[in-house]
Amino acid sequence: MNCKEINQLLLSYLDNEVSTEERDAIVAHLSACPSCREELEALASTQRELRHAFKVITARVSPSSYAWATIKQPLEREEHRRIPILIMVKSKVKRGIDRLRQQPVWQKALACALSVALIVGLCLTIPSLLGQSPEAMAENIALEDPGVQLLLAEKGFSVSSKVYVVAFKSDKRNIYYVHLMRPEDKTLIGIATVDVEEGKRRVIRIELTEASKSYTLRPSGLPEGVSVDAVINVARGNPEVRGFLDAGAEVSRTAYLSSPEKEFVGLALRQDDKELCLVKIDWGKREVVKVYMLDKSHESQTTAIRTDVVPGMMDGKLTVSSTFERIEI
Amino acid sequence: MAKQSELEELEALFHCHKDMVFKTAYLILGDTQEAENVLQEVFIKVYRAGDTFRPEKGGFNTWLHRITVNQCISKCRKKHLPFFSLDERLEEGDFDPPGAPSQLPEELLIKQEESERIQRAMKSLDRKHRAVLTLRYFDDLSYDEIAQVLKIPLGTVKSRLNTAIKALRKELTP
């Protein structure tokens, strides 16, 4: 191949989109041709610049917070319909199962393996269909965290209180900021930083808006080197908590929150599959400072309710998005 | 009335892919408002015309890219949009997303300058070349996927990318 022909292939070569024969010819030519090597380097540099610029340009823009509401509105008035993509996923799996019933054993085994491959393939192709959005996941992780619940209780939220939450993606992969807001006036109570990466799903940090208080959470939910039993022993110092424990209540979840001034341990006590209370322990003083009772009539700790969008500005910079949740603590 | 669960399924899709659709459209159209319109049209289309999706002809991602690029191109045709009507609002200054750490001013300035140079160069290309560069270097699609999205032969993808990147380089050369 001459320089002109090689030149036409250099971009594909950089993008790894050439055949083995073409690659061999290009490599052989480049080793003997300084001007084509120079051209290759120039192309590679433009590619790098372009990738980088696209990242910078797109980092500055994002869809508006009311985009989903605008899409949803006209569709709500339309007739029932399944999203065909989802039907296709389900029908493929169903057809596979139907066929499986009519086949001999050896074919069943093979078809079974293929079905698994198909399902895995579909899972990889359309992951979003098989789980919640990362924002919704971050919101749920935040709301179900005993540390977050403890701070909400601290802020005067009772069992029937509502808290509005909305997650914002950070500039770090898998890290979301969940804004916790008062429902009446949408003022910001605090921000929970949540890692949604599989295996790490947890609240990393809670910041309260008042007095710029910031709490760090430990993944173990306990102070360093302290066992659950040690915490339970401290909790037993409170007669009410002791009563629950003696009646067979168990610790269902723990949280450890620390700020430069304070250290708290939160314990959730459960009996007969229902959570009874949240216990707040001042770990510096090793004493129970408050017991927040949970309403036994509530089956689950958290109830998610989607309400209408409230677009608007908060504190001059926050825009509220379409997903609101209610938490009952 | 549409069922709530169906809209929730669509909402899950929307939250997963909104950034890809919006940002791809923004790079092709150069205007945030137009990109927002494309985002809305694309997801309404996903809901209404999802039956045109053929898994055997490529994955969902490719299909979504195809709708996005088609919407961008038809927008250019209908409104005779200048291919890259740089978004003035952005030039007035950015704001960090809530909670994001702010960058150093020098860093921001250098990044801004570099990206503006590329934006100006992109402006000089026509939409099919902007689209092919966006699909390859922003969305990271393979040549084969680009061929499926744009419904053009593989050879045309190669030659179009070659032409686009060389034209861009010419613009970038002082």
Indicate yes or no: CB of B1 within 8 angstroms of CB of A318.
Answer: no
Nearest partner of B143 among A9, A55, A46, judged by Cα = A9
Query: Which whole number is the average pLDDT over B115-143?
Result: 88
Asked if B171 has any chain A CB less than 8 Å from its own CB, the reply is: no
pLDDT per position as a tens digit, B124-137: 888 889 999 999 99
Nearest residue on chain A to B114, alpha-carbon basis: A53
Indicate yes or no: CB of B90 within 8 angstroms of CB of A61.
Answer: yes
Asked if B12 has any chain A CB less than 8 Å from its own CB, the reply is: yes
pLDDT per position as a tens digit, A156-187: 665 445 677 777 777 677 888 887 777 666 66
Please identify which residue in the block is written with the tokens 């890219």: B65
pLDDT per position as a tens digit, A203-255: 888 777 654 556 677 767 788 888 889 999 999 999 989 998 999 888 887 88
CA–CA min distance A86, chain B (Å): 9
A205 phi/psi in degrees, rounded to 5: -155, 145
Nearest residue on chain A to B44, alpha-carbon basis: A71
Q: How far apart are CA A216 and CA A145, in angstroms?
A: 13
Q: Which percentage of chain B shows pLDDT scores above 90?
A: 29
Indicate yes or no: CB of B117 within 8 angstroms of CB of A53.
Answer: yes
Any idea where the domains of chain B sit in the sequence? 4-87+103-172
Q: How far apart are CA A310 and CA A323, in angstroms?
A: 9
At the top level of CATH, which class does the domain B4-87+103-172 belong to?
mainly alpha
* Complex ipTM value: 0.81
Q: Using the predicted structure, report yes or no on whether residue A5 has a pLDDT greater than 50.
A: yes
Q: Look at A134-143, A266-275, B2-11, B143-152 and tell me which has the smallest mean pLDDT.
A: B2-11
Q: How far apart are CA B157 and CA B143, in angstroms?
A: 6
Nearest residue on chain A to B100, alpha-carbon basis: A170
Q: What are the tokens at A261?
A: 């001034």
Q: What band does A295 get if pLDDT is binned at 50, 70 and 90?
A: low
Q: How far apart are CA B168 and CA B106, in angstroms?
A: 26
Q: What band does B165 get if pLDDT is binned at 50, 70 and 90?
A: very high
Indicate yes or no: CB of A54 within 8 angstroms of CB of B36.
Answer: no
Between A and B, how many residue pairs show a Cβ–Cβ distance under 8 A?
185
List all residues 6 or more positions away from A252 whose beta carbon is below 8 Å from its beta carbon.
A268, A269, A270, A275
Nearest partner of B125 among B28, B55, B51, B59, judged by Cα = B28
Sign of the alpha-carbon dihedral angle for A321, A322, A328, B5: negative
Indicate yes or no: CB of B137 within 8 angstroms of CB of A46.
Answer: no
- What value does the mean pLDDT of chain A take? 69
Q: What band does B76 get if pLDDT is binned at 50, 70 and 90?
A: low
Q: Roughly how many angstroms between the first and final C-alpha of chain A, as a whole number?
A: 73
Q: How far apart are CA A131 and CA B12, in angstroms?
A: 8
Q: What band does A309 get if pLDDT is binned at 50, 70 and 90?
A: very low
Q: Look at A24-38, A72-86, A164-178, B60-74 and tell me which has the smallest mean pLDDT.
A: A72-86
- The total of other beta-carbon atoms located within 10 Å of residue A142's CB is 29
Contacts of A57 in chain B (CB under 8 A): 26-27, 115, 118-119
Residue A294's pLDDT is what?
67
Contacts of B133 in chain A (CB under 8 A): 50
Contacts of B51 in chain A (CB under 8 A): 84
Is residue A278 within 8 A of residue A291, CB to CB? The reply is: yes
Q: How far apart are CA A215 and CA A191, in angstroms?
A: 10
Is residue B114 within 8 A of residue A52, CB to CB? The reply is: yes
Nearest residue on chain B to A59, alpha-carbon basis: B23
Contacts of B172 in chain A (CB under 8 A): 46, 49
Minimum-distance CB partner of B99 among A80, A83, A170: A170
Please identify which residue in the block is written with the tokens 């002082």: B174
Minimum-distance CB partner of B47 among A12, A57, A83: A83
Is residue B29 within 8 A of residue B72, CB to CB? The reply is: yes
CA–CA min distance B40, chain A (Å): 6
- Which segments of chain B are extended strands (E)? none
- The total of other beta-carbon atoms located within 10 Å of residue B173's CB is 8
Asked if B111 has any chain A CB less than 8 Å from its own CB, the reply is: yes
Asked if B164 has any chain A CB less than 8 Å from its own CB, the reply is: no
Q: Which of B32, B92, B112, B118 is the best mutation test for A, with the most CBs of A within 10 A? A: B118
Please identify which residue in the block is written with the tokens 């491959």: A117
Residue A89's pLDDT is what?
37
Contacts of B112 in chain A (CB under 8 A): 56
CA–CA min distance B77, chain A (Å): 23
